[in-house]
């Protein structure tokens, strides 16, 4: 066995190291959390499947492994290249959206998922897939100087038990609106990586509580999450997103792209305030990253993006879905 893993083998033995090297982890999202989770796991000897639809932006550099030369490149591909230089594992990069049409391909032969996503709708889909297929996932999120981590084992309480209702569009904070501290993303990703390793090897018990960190206040606490006996997903095996859709449609138009959610009521005044835009009653206009945007009260966005991926990415940053 490679000397690369000598210190881990000293800690928990060759059998557990082999379990890591025989495993496959799906990392959904290759931004701040996904960067560091993937790096930790790869250097521990875990095989990875990296998924992200977006490209590297300069604003990503302060909290990721990306280099200036990576700006404009697909995040998944750039991250794979960086990690491969210092690891001895198999890494697959998929530049795709995680949705009801792609999840089967992405979940194939996966032992556990690291949820490093930056919007809620894909997380609700992941939750349904986890319960339906019996594949656990470790949820992580960070905003401002705060972070949260929760292990979901697919058998007990699920993500819907923790967040029963989809946040109203435009009211969920995003990093582009509120900012994020790189030490917060580092802490969250380290705890996520640790939970994945413990699950794969049995080295220590996995804490099933919600872990909440506030780096500004220096507070760390745990919150017990109970299974909701009325939960449609884990208690009644109802998988609406998988079976009926619920995804966002991106349509090409003469004016660019229309991003149309299945159902959404957007707080246009708040969006206008957040992005120094102009609220005009039925819609709000503003500019983001040089792109002219019109957002309507039913959640539809008109954006002059270069392609569908960019349009969907901008929508996620603004509306949080």
DSSP-assigned letter for residue 209: S
List of residues 6+ apart from 87 with CB closer than 8 A: 4, 42, 43, 45
Please report how many Cα atoms fall inside a 13 Å half-sphere around the Cα of residue 132, on the Cβ side. Answer: 17
Residue in 30, 158, 161, 175 annotated catalytic? 175
175 a catalytic residue: yes
How many whole angstroms separate alpha carbon 283 and alpha carbon 296? Answer: 4
Q: DSSP states of 135-183 as a string?
A: --EEEEEEEBTEEEEEEE-SSSS-HHHHS-SPPPTT-S--HHHH-B-HH
Asked whether the beta carbons of 69 and 20 are under 8 A apart, the reply is no
How many whole angstroms separate alpha carbon 259 and alpha carbon 304? Answer: 11
Asked whether the beta carbons of 27 and 37 are under 8 A apart, the reply is yes
Residue 49 bridge partners (DSSP): 26, 92
How many whole angstroms separate alpha carbon 237 and alpha carbon 147? Answer: 29
* Angle separating helix axes 32-44 and 75-84, nearest 10 degrees: 30
Backbone angles phi, psi at 153, to 5 degrees: -95, 5
Catalytic residues: 175
């Amino acid at each position: 066995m490679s000397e690369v893993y000598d210190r881990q083998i000293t800690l928990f033995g060759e059998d557990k190291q082999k379990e890591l090297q025989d495993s496959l982890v799906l990392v959904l999202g290759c931004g701040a959390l996904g960067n560091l989770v993937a790096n930790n796991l790869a250097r521990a000897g875990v095989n990875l499947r990296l998924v992200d639809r977006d490209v590297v932006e300069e604003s990503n550099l302060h909290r990721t492994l990306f280099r200036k030369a990576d700006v404009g490149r697909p995040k998944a591909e750039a991250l794979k290249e960086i990690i491969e230089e210092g690891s001895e594992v198999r890494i697959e990069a998929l530049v795709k959206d995680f949705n009801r049409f792609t999840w089967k391909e992405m979940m194939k032969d996966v032992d556990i998922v690291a949820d490093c996503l930056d919007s809620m709708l894909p997380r609700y889909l992941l939750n349904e897939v986890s319960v339906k297929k019996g594949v656990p996932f470790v949820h992580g999120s960070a905003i401002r100087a705060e972070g949260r981590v929760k292990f979901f084992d697919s058998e007990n309480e699920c993500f819907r038990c923790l967040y029963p209702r989809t946040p109203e569009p435009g009211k969920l904070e995003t990093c582009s609106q509120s900012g994020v501290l790189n030490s917060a993303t580092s802490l969250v990703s380290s705890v996520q990586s640790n939970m994945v390793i413990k699950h794969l090897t049995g080295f220590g018990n996995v804490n099933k509580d919600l872990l909440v960190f506030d780096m500004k206040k220096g507070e760390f606490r745990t919150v017990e999450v109970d299974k909701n006996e009325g939960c449609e997903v884990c208690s009644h095996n109802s998988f609406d997103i998988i079976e009926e859709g619920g995804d966002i449609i991106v349509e090409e138009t003469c004016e660019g792209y229309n991003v149309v959610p299945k159902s959404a009521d957007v707080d246009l005044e708040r969006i206008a305030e957040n992005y120094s835009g102009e609220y005009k009653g039925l819609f709000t206009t503003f500019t983001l990253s040089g792109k002219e945007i019109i957002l309507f009260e039913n959640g539809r966005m008109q954006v002059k993006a270069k392609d569908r991926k960019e349009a969907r990415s901008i929508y996620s940053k603004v509306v949080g879905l």
